Every structure is written in C-alpha cells, then in structure tokens.
C-alpha cells in the first residue's frame, strides 16, 4: 500500500515544481493599465515611446515589410545560422569596417539579444564547464537567469553606487585585476540597463588593457546601439575591448534600434584566437542553436536586411533612430535642468536611469501621483513627455526631500 502511494506521488511530475514569482515588471504594467487616472505616468516599461506615448513602427521598417510581403517567394527553412546576409550587414555596424574584416570573428542570427546571450552562455559552458563570468551589479534582471540556465558560474562585483549616482570604477578594475586568465567579463556595450551609467572611452581603454593583459574574455551585451549617442559612438567601447581581447563574444539586438521588439531580432558574434578556432566555435553555435530554436524567426531579420541593403531606407532608418536618440537626450536634459539632484541624468545614456528612492518612496509615488516605475528606482526616461516631465521631476524631488 505504502509503495503504491509512493509510486502515485512520484508520477505527479508537475507537482514537484516550485511556484514561481510573477514577473515584477509585468505586474507593474497590469497595475498601470488598471489605473484610471488620466495623468498617470508610465516609466516602468522598457520600450521606446514617442511624444504621444506610442511605440511606433519605424518608417523604414514599415516600407521594408511591404517589400518583403511583395517579394518573398518562399518560407522554406533557412538553417540554424538564420539570414546570413542580415548578419553580414550588422557586422560593420557593430565592429566598424576595420574590425569587421577580422576573419577570426564569426556570427549568426539569433532570436533577439536574449537568444544571443543564452546561446553565448551555452557555448561558454560547452567549451569549459568550469567557466566563470564576472558580472557588475546592478545589471539587467534577466542576465543572471540566462547565464545560470546555461550553468556558467557568476561572480559579482559592485558597478554602480545608486546614492552617489556614479560608477564604482575602482571596484570594477579591482575585480578584473583579480580575475583568473580565461575568466569571462559581462560588459554592457552602451546604455547600461538599469543605471544608464556607461564607461567613458578612457575607462573602456583601461578595461581593454586589463582584458588583454590578464587574458580575460569579454562578453559584450550590445542591446541599445544608436539610442545613447549615435551608432558609431555607442559601439566605440565594444570595439576597443574586442580588438584588445584574443577571444570575445558579442550579443547584439536589433529589437530596440529597429523597434521590432516582438520580432526577436539579433545576432551573436564570437571572436576566436584563430580563424580555425572561430570556425569550430561557429559549428558549435549552429549545433547548440539547433537544440534550442533550431533556426531563428525570419521576419525581423529579413526586414532589417532589406532596410540595410537599400541606401534610401538605410538613411531613413538612421535618421529616425537619430530622432529617437535626440528625444531621449532632450528629456534627460530637461530632467537635469530641473534640479541639481537630477543633474547626473544628463550624463547618462539610453532609456534608463536610476533614482535614489527607497521601495517605499517608489510605492508612494505610484499611489499618490500615479507614477509607475520599478521598485529599484529604475525609470524609463522616454516614458515621459514634454507635458509631464516637469511634473515627474517635481514629484521625485519632493520625495527625495521627504
């Protein structure tokens, strides 16, 4: 009888699972949606917003979608590398013409930046099950789960002091100087999420020097290229470390800079110590991709390819991306000008910055003013509009005083 009960319990496969906490950001979206106050302010969600509060489809993307619809002849399989022409066109955007010609760098299309990060982590674990990766804190909340899933050990160091509103560069260099040769280092290429605090070019140079001297392997997450200070400027740090390092991984996303979030569009590049090693890494990437998504979704990459292959569409994409970037910069400047305690926001990049507010203060802003932001104080600058940016700044400064 007892053994029958045991057998019955063991058969309850899904009863063995632990309950998972709902995603805090998705909960925030639901709360905001349910709020009927007309002047509520949503700075929680991490997508670009225009002045009317929408997340538009870019002009060039819309045109390319029409071209794709009219000209695509087949939906037959493409293979695990996805759209090879897309990756070829993304390559110089990420690396610049010089480094893009390096034959030790290989790349393939992935389902967004998340797919690239996960695939990169899997490649690392496959190559070295004892690999360690150094991760600055705070970081994007999905980094740890993605890396953990692949079984790569994480070592944390403090990257940013929220109260002092500055990067803890000494802590970063100390951590990397103490890292073992062959250790990996996760780096945000630009527009650090969640802090907005990017390294200066001189600091990138210093990191590149340490990486080269200590034989570390950078794993760069480049999810927001073009939304900080421009396509070239935002890739400058990445190029420095990739050039300096013997081996590197670069997870790239088009989901933000093409505004194609749900189309899951990105790529992973790997730099090997030789052309041969890079080729072997590429073969392993194809095999790993095959076991996860087999091949990436086509639409977003096909659209980005059409845009980048057509000079007029490419120019329009760059112009609109420039407009988005300028809007973010203008909102940052407005916040900074409002009060000296917000001045640091203008020196930061991308959609996010962090306010030195306690979870209780964040909650009070939500309840009293209808301002929705993550409990950490991270807010999406571009969730604001010309009409409410001063109201937001006033409410935040009032809480800082309280």
Ligand X SMILES: Cc1ncc(COP(=O)(O)O)c(C=O)c1O
Q: How distant, in Å, are the alpha carbons of 167, 169, 196, 259, 351 from that of 200?
A: 10, 10, 12, 26, 18
Residue 189 C-beta: closest distance to ligand X, Å: 9
**DSSP-assigned states of every residue in 237-266:** HHHHHHHH-SSEEEEEE-TTTTT-GGG-EE
CB contact at 8 A, 45 and 71 = no
State the minimum distance, in angstroms, from the CB of residue 363 to ligand X: 24
End-to-end CA distance of the chain: 65
Minimum CB distance to ligand X, residue 119 (Å): 12
Residue from 121, 150, 223, 278 carrying the catalytic annotation: 223
- Residue 349: what are its φ and ψ, rounded to 5°? -130, 150
317 carries an active-site annotation:
no
CB of 2 to ligand X, least distance (A): 49
Catalytic, out of 42, 198, 221, 298: 221
How far apart are alpha carbons 10 and 303 in whole angstroms? 49
In angstroms, how far is CA 356 from the centroid of its own chain?
A: 22
Nearer to ligand X, 112 or 237 (CB): 112
DSSP letters, 322-387, are HHHHHHHHHHHHHHHHH-GGGGGGGGS-SSEEE----HHHHHHHHHHH-EE--TTSEEEGGG--TT
CA distances from 218 to 45, 256, 397 (A): 29, 22, 38
When the beta carbons of 136 and 272 are compared against ligand X, the nearer one is 136
C-alpha to C-alpha distance for 9 and 7, rounded to whole angstroms: 5
Question: What minimum distance in Å lies between the beta carbon of 94 and ligand X?
Answer: 14
Catalytic residue among 60, 121, 122, 140: 140
Query: Least separation, in Å, of the C-beta of 255 and ligand X?
Result: 4
Compare residues 266 and 272 and give the one whose CB is closer to ligand X.
Answer: 266
Q: In the complex with ligand X, which residue's Cβ is closer, 167 or 393? A: 167
Nearer to ligand X, 113 or 259 (CB): 113
Q: Catalytic: 369? A: no
Distance CA 12, CA 206 (A): 54
221 is catalytic: yes
Binding site for ligand X (CB under 6 A): 46, 112-114, 140, 193, 221, 223, 253, 255, 261, 266
Q: How far is the CB of 196 from ligand X (least distance, A)?
A: 11
Q: How far apart are CA 176 and CA 184, in angstroms?
A: 9
DSSP assignments along 86-113, one per residue: HHHHHHHHHHHHHHHT-TTEEEEEEEHH
Q: Which is nearer to ligand X, 123 or 393 (CB)?
A: 123
DSSP-based three-state secondary structure for 156: strand
Catalytic site residue from 63, 256, 369, 399:
256
Which one, 150 or 278, has the nearer CB to ligand X? 150
Q: Any catalytic annotation for residue 75?
A: no
Strand-pairing partners, residue 132, are 153
Place of tokens 């210093």: 206
Choose between 168 and 250: whose C-beta lies nearer to ligand X: 250
Q: How far is the CB of 221 from ligand X (least distance, A)?
A: 5
List residues bridging with 134 in a β-sheet: 155, 185
Active site members: 140, 221, 223, 256
């Amino acid at each position: 009888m007892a053994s029958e009960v045991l057998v019955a319990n063991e058969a309850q496969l899904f009863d063995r699972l632990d309950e998972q906490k709902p995603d805090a950001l998705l909960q925030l979206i639901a709360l905001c949606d349910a709020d009927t106050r007309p002047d509520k302010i949503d700075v929680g969600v991490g997508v670009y917003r225009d002045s009317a509060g929408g997340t538009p489809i870019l002009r060039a993307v819309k045109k390319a979608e029409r071209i794709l619809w009219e000209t695509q002849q087949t939906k037959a399989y493409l293979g695990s590398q996805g759209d090879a022409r897309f990756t070829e066109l993304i390559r110089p955007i990420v690396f610049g013409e010089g480094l893009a010609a390096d034959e030790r760098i290989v790349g393939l299309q992935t389902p967004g930046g998340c797919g690239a990060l996960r695939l990169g982590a899997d490649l690392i674990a496959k190559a070295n099950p004892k690999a360690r990766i150094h991760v600055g804190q705070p970081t994007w909340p999905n980094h740890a789960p993605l890396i953990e899933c692949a079984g790569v050990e994480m070592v944390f160091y403090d990257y940013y002091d929220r109260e002092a509103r500055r990067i803890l560069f000494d802590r970063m260099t100390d951590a990397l100087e103490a890292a073992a040769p062959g250790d990996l280092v996760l780096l945000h290429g630009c527009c650090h999420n969640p802090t907005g605090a990017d390294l200066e070019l001189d600091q990138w140079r210093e990191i590149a020097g340490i990486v080269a001297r200590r034989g570390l392997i950078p794993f760069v997450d480049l999810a927001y290229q073009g939304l900080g200070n421009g396509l070239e400027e935002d890739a400058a740090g990445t190029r420095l470390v990739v050039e300096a390092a013997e081996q590197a991984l670069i997870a790239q996303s088009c989901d933000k800079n093409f505004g194609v979030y749900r189309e899951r569009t990105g790529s992973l590049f790997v730099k090997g110590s030789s052309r041969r090693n890079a080729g072997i890494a590429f073969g392993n990437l194809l095999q790993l991709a095959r076991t996860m998504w087999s091949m990436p979704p086509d639409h977003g990459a096909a659209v980005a390819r059409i845009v980048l292959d057509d000079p007029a569409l490419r120019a329009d994409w760059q112009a609109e991306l420039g407009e988005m970037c300028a809007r973010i910069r203008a909102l940052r400047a407005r916040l900074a000008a409002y009060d000296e305690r917000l001045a640091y926001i203008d020196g930061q990049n991308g959609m996010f910055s962090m306010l030195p507010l306690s979870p209780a203060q964040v909650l009070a802003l939500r309840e009293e003013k209808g301002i929705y932001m993550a409990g950490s104080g991270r807010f999406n600058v571009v969730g604001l509009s010309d009409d409410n940016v001063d109201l937001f700044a006033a409410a935040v400064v009032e809480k800082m005083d309280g």
